[in-house]
Structure 1
Amino acid sequence: MKKFILFLSLLFSIFQTALAQKTEIWIVRHAEKGVNNPNDPDLSDKGKKRAEDLAVILAKFKFDAAFSTPYKRTHQTLDPLAKKNKISITDYKSITTLVDDIRKNYSGKKIIIAGHSNTVLETIEAFGIQRPKAKITDDEFNNIFHLTLNGNKTELKTNTYGKI
């Protein structure tokens, strides 16, 4: 009987692992902004180039969803990637609501999120992962954070992108 219970426990554990779906999330800050509108600027020429570079570096992945704050610069950062993947960009206002939505509705999917210097690290934390750095400075536009959620396991990889 003990062997049977041990076997069932092992089988249940394997079954639970098989059911856990790996969700992959990339988080970036918007690319360099222009000076045309202080409240909601477009990307600068450098920023547009960086947005294209983002689409190139992530071209091997098929994204299921894109999320952005409701500002031109975050949308424009994701536009080339969204067009390649034939997906629309969904606005979010609350990090908590965004994280809950992704956990509930996008399990096993590939997601890209664009935010700001004051929201990117908070978004990583909201997924239960420790901040990889203390802050993102005003002149940092090249960080890319890759989160993997697989059941109770989380992983974070950091990198940079863009030729500028």
Structure 2
Amino acid sequence: MQTAPVPAAKSVFVVRHFQKSEGTDPSLTAEGAANARRLAAMLKDKGVTAIFATPTKRAIETAAPLAAQLGLAVTPYNPSDPPALLAAVRSTSGSALVVGHSNTVPDLVEMFGGAKPAPLSDSDFGTVYEVEADGKVVAIPVR
């Protein structure tokens, strides 16, 4: 995948949705919902002006606490159309949160200009990848 850094002074925070229940389009578990609240506390002062999530309950619920805290909407994106997501993020006025899945997070980090992290397993939850404007990637545990 070709990298395309975001404009200067922006960071893109990429995270996999948190712990989910069972089912076709599951919601977050109580643990996942608690992690979503922790994520909101971590990012509330990071200049996030746009939030994107796949149109699944677990992704939207991961983003919802931060969106509510900042008075923003969660914008659904199509994971099959990465160029559209890249264009949307690049057009934001500040930093962005992007919620993906175990099979998309590494590619998203790379798409936003960072070094591609190792693949995520189905049990990997709780790491936020901050892709800085210069392409530096910082992995931050959600606590």
What is the TM-score of this pair, normalised by structure 2?
0.88
Whether 1:158 and 2:143 are equivalent positions in the alignment is no
Aligned-residue CA RMSD (Å):
1.4
SS at match of 1:138: coil
Shift of 1:75: 0.3
Shift of 1:81: 0.5
Out of 46, 63, 68, which is 1:78 matched to?
A: 63
Whose radius of gyration is greater, 1 or 2?
1
1:10-35 CA deviation, whole Å, 9 max, x = no partner? xxxxxxxxxx6311110100010012
Shift of 1:97: 1.4
Shift of 1:159: 1.6
**Structure 1: runs of 5 or more not aligned:** 1-19
8 A Cα contact 1:62 1:85, kept in partner:
no
Q: 1:45-124 to 2 correspondence within 5 Å?
A: 45-93=30-78, 94-103=81-90, 105-106=91-92, 108-124=93-109
SS at match of 2:28: coil
Partner residue, 1:136:
120
Among the aligned pairs, what percent are the same residue?
28
Paired residues in the alignment total 135
Q: In structure 2, how many angstroms separate the alpha carbons of the residues matched to 1:98 and 1:72?
A: 19
Partner residue, 2:10:
23
4+ runs of 1 displaced by more than 3 Å?
none
Q: In structure 2, how many angstroms separate the alpha carbons of the residues matched to 1:59 and 1:91?
A: 20
1:100-125 CA deviation, whole Å, 9 max, x = no partner? 2222x12x511101010001111111
8 A Cα contact 2:12 2:112, kept in partner:
no
Letter in 1 for 2:15: V
SS at match of 1:123: helix
